[in-house]
Every structure is written in structure tokens, then in C-alpha cells.
């Protein structure tokens, strides 16, 4: 029986501040948009923007125990909103943009979300919920950058605060929310960082949606925990995957089985820094793994997280 995780941290915000103080100029978040425009945020700047995002949320009445929903793609503002909410002790409710309107409405109601950050194309739809959902105070479109304003002084969060509410994608009935605390997320990041031996400065590439725990915990939080970096892509592209991994010196990326097939169809060559890919979130055939490993010469680690 493994020993329980004994954290040395009091919150995720403490981790962000610690990294910002220890390695202020080392890049943590490197984000690419649809036009391949690149933006890099070193640890110190990331910590400042997280504190400003927390101030932005606090100014809109968000506090400990509240829930903030997101209906967004892999936008560079999403990590700031997530970590900003966690700094306040609030939980994040990430919605899949492909959910039906009925399921979106149900999740917002069931989670009792107080704010919703959304892509502009969904704004007319979700604004109609304002009169129906008493807890939902505002719908905020995110197109370019949010004006976060001043920093929120001091972090209020604790390890037992709710951090993430992820809704199941079951095919029958209403989705069910799974609640994860800050302790849960840090324990998972600690285990992932140890198992994969993530090194300080190592870069992991995120091409899966960060409305899912795979994108959030595996490729966003775990590198942060270990002092590494994340290369956040707006979407997966088999044409740019290996060249971008080479340009950024990526070591690991987390994929799903279908993406392995797309990469084999597209071809290309992994960079020498690439030591493997994680694959999960669906049935993974042995034949697919063997073909991929033979084709690219790097291992596939089949992951499943609870």
C-alpha cells in the first residue's frame, strides 16, 4: 500500500509563488495560437498574472468556495483564470465546447457557477441562461486578453478547498460532477512528476483540450510542480507536431489513441529531446503502440488516472 501524499505546500498558489521566486526568468507557459504566434511567460510573470487574475475574479465577487466555469479552447488566458481561482480557494468548472446546450445549462446549474468565461461564439447562447440560473452572475467573453487589473494580495486557499469539478461524459442521463480538491491535484502532480522523473526546465507539450483533467493535471500542473514548462497548443496538428516539438525542445506530450494514428499517417521525425508520449482516454490497441514505437523510435506510455 503506497504511503499517503504528505504535501510540503499549503496550496497551489504557494507552489506558483515558490516557482516565481526560485526561477523567475525560466519560461513556464509557452502558448501558440491558431496563427502559430508564440507567447512565452516566465515563472515570475506567470505568478504575477495569476495574482492579477485572482484580483480580477475577487473584484467580481469570487471568493473561497465559489465555482467559476470556463467554456474556452486552449487559450493562453485559461491557465491564469484557473490558477487565479485556485489562489482564492474557488473551484474551476471546465466545460467541453462540444457539449449540447442542454448539457451546458445543466452543468452550470448543477455546479452553481457564479461566473462563466466563454468563447464569443457561445455568448448569445449562454447569456440566455442568466435569467434561468440564479447563481450565474455574469457571462464574460474571452477573445484576446482580459484586463486583469491589480494583483490580489495574499492567497486565501487551503489544501482541502475544492479546485476542480469535472463532469462525466456519460451517454445516458445527466452528467455527474467529480470534485477534486487542491490536495487531490497536488497529490496527482507529485505522483506524475515522480513516475516520469520530470526534470527542472523540461518541456511538456499540451495538444489535448485543457477542459479535461489530462490537459489540466498531466501537462499543465505536473510540469509546474517539477519546475518544468508547458508548450500549450491551440489545437493538435499532425503537420506541426514534430517541428514544434523540435523547436521547443519538448520531452513528453500526452495524446489520445487517434492522435497516434494521425501522426503515423503524417510522418515526420521526433526531435532528440523527445523521450516518449503518454497515451490514454480511450482504447489503445497493442498493434497501434508497436507500429508507433517502430515508426518513431520512442516509447508510448499507456496512462490511466483515477
Contacts of 109 (CB under 8 A, 6+ apart): 132, 133, 135
3-state secondary structure of 287: helix
Cell of 116: 462563466
Say whether pLDDT at 306 is over 80: no
Cell of 67: 465555482
Share of the chain above pLDDT 90, in %: 66
Say whether pLDDT at 1 is over 60: no
What is the sign, positive or negative, of the torsion defined by CA atoms of 234, 240, 244, 245? positive
pLDDT at site 278: 92
Cα 104 to Cα 66, 141, 241: the distances in Å are: 18, 16, 31
pLDDT 10s digits, 114-147: 999 999 999 988 888 888 899 999 999 998 778 8
Least confident segment among 53-67, 71-85, 154-168, 195-209:
154-168
Q: Cα separation of 223 and 241, whole Å?
A: 19
- Burial, 91: exposed, middle or buried (Cβ in 10 Å; 0-12, 13-18, 19+)? buried
Listing DSSP states for 202-263 in one string gives: -EEEE-S-TTSHIIIIIIIIHHHHHT-EEEEESS--TTTHHHHHHHHTEEEEEE-HHHHHHH
Say whether pLDDT at 91 is over 80: yes
Which residue did the predictor score with more confidence, 254 or 129?
Answer: 254
Listing DSSP states for 60-90 in one string gives: TT--TT-EEEEE--S-THHHHHHHHHHHHT-
* Burial letters 252-283, b for 16+ CB under 10 A, else e: bbbbbbebbeebbeeebebbeebebbbbbbee
Phi, psi of 12, deg, nearest 5: -65, -35
pLDDT 10s digits, 160-199: 999 999 998 666 678 889 999 999 999 999 999 999 999 9
Share of the chain above pLDDT 70, in %: 97
Mean local confidence (pLDDT), 266-274? 94
Phi, psi of 119, deg, nearest 5: -65, 145
Q: Cα separation of 155 and 157, whole Å?
A: 6
Amino acid at each position: 500500500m503506497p504511503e499517503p501524499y504528505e504535501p510540503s505546500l499549503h496550496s497551489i498558489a504557494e507552489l506558483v509563488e515558490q516557482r516565481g521566486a526560485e526561477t523567475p526568468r525560466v519560461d513556464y507557459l509557452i502558448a501558440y495560437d491558431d496563427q502559430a504566434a508564440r507567447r512565452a511567460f516566465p515563472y515570475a510573470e506567470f505568478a504575477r498574472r495569476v495574482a492579477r487574475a485572482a484580483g480580477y475574479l475577487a473584484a467580481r465577487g469570487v471568493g473561497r468556495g465559489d465555482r467559476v466555469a470556463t467554456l474556452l479552447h486552449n487559450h493562453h488566458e485559461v491557465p491564469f483564470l484557473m490558477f487565479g481561482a485556485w489562489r482564492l480557494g474557488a473551484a474551476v468548472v471546465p466545460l467541453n465546447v462540444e457539449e449540447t446546450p442542454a448539457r451546458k445549462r445543466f452543468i452550470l446549474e448543477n455546479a452553481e457557477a457564479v461566473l462563466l468565461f466563454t468563447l464569443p461564439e457561445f455568448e448569445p447562447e449562454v447569456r440566455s441562461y442568466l435569467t434561468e440560473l440564479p447563481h450565474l452572475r455574469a457571462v464574460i467573453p474571452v477573445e484576446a486578453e482580459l484586463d486583469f487589473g491589480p494583483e490580489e494580495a495574499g492567497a486565501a486557499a487551503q489544501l482541502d478547498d475544492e479546485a476542480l469539478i469535472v463532469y462525466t461524459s456519460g451517454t445516458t442521463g445527466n452528467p455527474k460532477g467529480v470534485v477534486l480538491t487542491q490536495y487531490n491535484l497536488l497529490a496527482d502532480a507529485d505522483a506524475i512528476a515522480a513516475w516520469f522523473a520530470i526534470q527542472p526546465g523540461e518541456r511538456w507539450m499540451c495538444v489535448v483540450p485543457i477542459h479535461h483533467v489530462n490537459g489540466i493535471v498531466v501537462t499543465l500542473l505536473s510540469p509546474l510542480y517539477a519546475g518544468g514548462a508547458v508548450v500549450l497548443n491551440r489545437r493538435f496538428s499532425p503537420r506541426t507536431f514534430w517541428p514544434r516539438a523540435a523547436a521547443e525542445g519538448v520531452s513528453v506530450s500526452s495524446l489520445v489513441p487517434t492522435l497516434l494514428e494521425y501522426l503515423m499517417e503524417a510522418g515526420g521525425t521526433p526531435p532528440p529531446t523527445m523521450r516518449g508520449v503518454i497515451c490514454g482516454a480511450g482504447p489503445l490497441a497493442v498493434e497501434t503502440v508497436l507500429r508507433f514505437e517502430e515508426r518513431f523510435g520512442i516509447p508510448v506510455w499507456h496512462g490511466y488516472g483515477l
